[in-house]
Structure 1
């Protein structure tokens, strides 16, 4: 079997005390592997590539909750708008506006997480705190114009390093931003409750810093086959 059921059960046990959700990252993995994990009880799957996600969605059970977790270009939103549940990496007002526009065409509301840049690496996407505040000011003062999107939390990626202290510090920084926004621009907004941090290598640190969603792929599916893309 291509999936690691032992690791799956262990991760679920680790998440339970934190009431955190598992996003099984299935990018580059075949539909058969997703089906196997689905049969074991998993319902939330995360993908990074639009074409791959749309192809898999058409082949797999309708009750799968699809999360788009990669960098998303505005011109590709229309392909996933009919079915995507949550978009993790909203990194601009322009992208949020396009998600709202495409969701409205399908009479849907799409959950969105705002991506915060917390890593040392410039190559990672995301907004700084000031840019997020500007976006939230725009959205909260024009709420009717964004009625087909729901900002449910924040997402971030830590620096790719073996220095656990640095990773934990970056996660802690994001949790602080989350708390400040929840107490200011999003005060009283009960939808704003998700913190998507933590992947295969660092999810235990993320859980300690308040993660409500961990994005795990290689521990469940093995190493990715990038030759497919």
Structure 2
């Protein structure tokens, strides 16, 4: 077994152990930012289907690579970076197998996406990104405003399928045991479910990366975004 496949299986085994303890289903998004297409194909053949990218240019290039198109027919791409309005048309028309945009953080962005999808008679899975640490350098809607964004999407954006909530942990907490960002997202899910009479199981929580995915699962994450632990460090 290759090193990459070995890394993948180690992560999947750990996810399985933790999710069984929690009695939850957890999905792994392999974050392939800056990594070559060959690595993605290798992991695809090892069984991984969901991959995430941070930049539209890189996602467009990789998703259209001839080897990906011919060898990875049911690959599923998640966009996990900040989406600029001027790149909406590109991501929607030039990325085959786009499964989800995890970073919707404003009414304007939701409307533009929805209008573009409407013209194509398509729907798309999304998550609402919340800035749980209130860091100015980070994208995401403020906690106090996320319910109004959810309501706007629910009422006005019929092409968007809002599957849940997403956060990027505090940049200061990378190597600490601080779970405050996770707890904020969990509280947001509770508010959302209480207001709309939803089951907690119906709302995905995308939180946890290479440094903290285990703790994220332990407190309730259903999607983890792991890059360097699978692919190795980025240069």
TM-score of the two chains, using structure 1 as the length reference: 0.88
Structure-2 separation of matches of 1:208 and 1:172: 11
1:136 aligns with 2:150: yes
Structure-2 separation of matches of 1:14 and 1:57: 28
TM-score of the two chains, using structure 2 as the length reference: 0.86
Match of 1:116 among 130, 133, 136: 130
Quote how far apart the aligned CAs of 1:194 are: 0.9
Aligned to 2:101: 87
Structure-2 separation of matches of 1:12 and 1:3: 14
Does the 8 Å CA contact 1:3/1:36 hold for their aligned counterparts? Answer: no
Aligned to 2:213: 203
Quote how far apart the aligned CAs of 1:214 are: 0.4
How big is each residue's C-alpha offset from its partner over 1:183-216, in whole Å with a ceiling of 9 and x where there is no partner? 214x348994210000000001100121010000
Does the 8 Å CA contact 1:114/1:154 hold for their aligned counterparts? Answer: yes
Aligned to 2:14: 14
Aligned to 2:188: 177
Does the 8 Å CA contact 1:81/1:106 hold for their aligned counterparts? Answer: no
Aligned to 2:176: 163
Structure-1 separation of matches of 2:189 and 2:201: 13
Structure-2 separation of matches of 1:139 and 1:119: 23
Structure-1 separation of matches of 2:107 and 2:91: 18
1:39 aligns with 2:45: yes
1:220 aligns with 2:230: yes
Deviates more, 1:70-79 or 1:115-124: 115-124
Quote how far apart the aligned CAs of 1:52 are: 0.9
How big is each residue's C-alpha offset from its partner over 1:163-185, in whole Å with a ceiling of 9 and x where there is no partner? 21x2x122012111112102214
Structure-2 separation of matches of 1:189 and 1:75: 36
Structure-2 separation of matches of 1:106 and 1:192: 27
How big is each residue's C-alpha offset from its partner over 1:71-119, in whole Å with a ceiling of 9 and x where there is no partner? 1111111111144210011111111111112222332211111011112
Question: What is the aligned length?
Answer: 219
Matched residue SS, 1:86 = strand
Aligned to 1:5: 5
Does the 8 Å CA contact 1:116/1:129 hold for their aligned counterparts? Answer: yes
Structure 2, unpaired ranges of 5+: none
The RMSD of aligned alpha carbons is 2.0
